[in-house]
Amino acid sequence: MTDLLEQAVEVVRALPSDQQDELARVMLRLADADYEPVSLSDDERRAIAASKAAAERGEFATEEEVSAVWASYGL
């Protein structure tokens, strides 16, 4: 890896994960890699937005709720 690319990667590491992913997609496209981004439906986009908003509000499942979900799958 060149020094310039290493420098760019270090800068990108400091960015939020969504921006890191977007830059990774751009790099893969520019490198002409066999990369196909996943297309999301409107419902999936809304569900992700709702999840992000809940996380920003600090709304997370309790340990008991997580354990109950695992138990429902026999884990």
pLDDT band, residue 17 (cuts 50/70/90): very high
Q: Where are the alpha helices (DSSP H) in 1-75?
A: 3-13, 17-30, 42-56, 63-72
Q: What single-letter amino acid sits at 11? A: V
pLDDT at 61: 93
pLDDT at 47: 95
pLDDT at 36: 73
pLDDT at 29: 84
Q: What single-letter amino acid sits at 67? A: S
Q: Is the pLDDT of residue 28 over 90?
A: no
Q: Is the pLDDT of residue 68 over 90?
A: yes
Query: Tokens 């419902």 label which residue?
Result: 43
Comparing 40 with 13, the larger pLDDT belongs to 13
Sort 70 into a burial class: Cβ within 10 Å, 0-12 / 13-18 / 19+. exposed
Domain boundaries, the chain: 1-37, 40-75
